[in-house]
Amino acid sequence: MDSNLKKLITRLYEEVKKDIYFFGACGFFVGILFISQSRLKELGILRDPKFASDLFKDFLSINAFIFVFVAYVILSWTNHFITCSILDKTISPIGEKLHQFGSSIVSFAIGFSFFVFSYSVIFIDIDGFKLFFVIFLFALFIINTVVLAEFSAKIKDFSFKIHIFFSILLIAIYLLIRLTALK
């Protein structure tokens, strides 16, 4: 494996190790709410039956993640053509934010997936296995996006960068369509 690629993956892995306890527990808790939200509404504890779905969407925050991703890629590519000290100072913190967003989303997805998989095994729920698989693909997409964004920021060949950007964009569109189809 390329040493730069290994560094990027290790950097994200270290970030996930820090976030997994909190965001993983949040994902697990939201998974429990997903299963029990109708019963909690009957008991009068929850007023809004979509509370768990709203929490799920908020924790994944794909819109903010994609915005930071696009900003990071555009600014890093621009920096290759226009050398500017402000761009140099801006790019590194945006890359850090991209790792932090990605790490929290992946950690949440791991916790949520753990609950969904456990529930599906115990109660032999086929839809739960499907949800687990989609969330697993989503987490892989986030990991791939973070690593490719960092990797493409260091590449000088612009045509290759365009290829990477549109590949990620097409994958993102596909996964968003799949996630909305689960509703």
Among 1, 4, 16, 19, smallest CA distance to 147 is for: 4
Return the higher-pLDDT residue of 7 and 27: 27
Instruction: Count the neighbouring beta carbons within 10 Å of the beta carbon of residue 85.
Output: 7
Does residue 58 lie within any of the structural domains?
yes
- Residue 168: pLDDT band by 50, 70, 90 thresholds? low
DSSP one-letter string for 9-49:
HHHHHHHHHHHHHHHHHHHHHHHHHHHHHHHHHHTTS-S-T
Q: What is the mean pLDDT of the chain?
A: 75
pLDDT category at 176 given cuts 50, 70, 90 is: low
> Is the residue at 3 inside a domain?
no
| 2 within some domain | no
Cα separation, 143 vs 121, in Å, equals 26
Average pLDDT (104-117) is 87
Better-predicted residue by pLDDT, 47 or 105: 105
How many structural domains comprise the chain? 1
What range does the domain containing 65 cover?
A: 8-181
pLDDT in tens, 64-95: 777 777 778 777 777 767 777 777 777 778 87
Given a cut of 70, whether residue 163 has pLDDT beyond it is no
151-156 mean pLDDT: 67
> Does some domain include residue 76?
yes
- According to the per-residue pLDDT averaged within each range, which of 7-16, 81-90, 107-116 is highest? 107-116
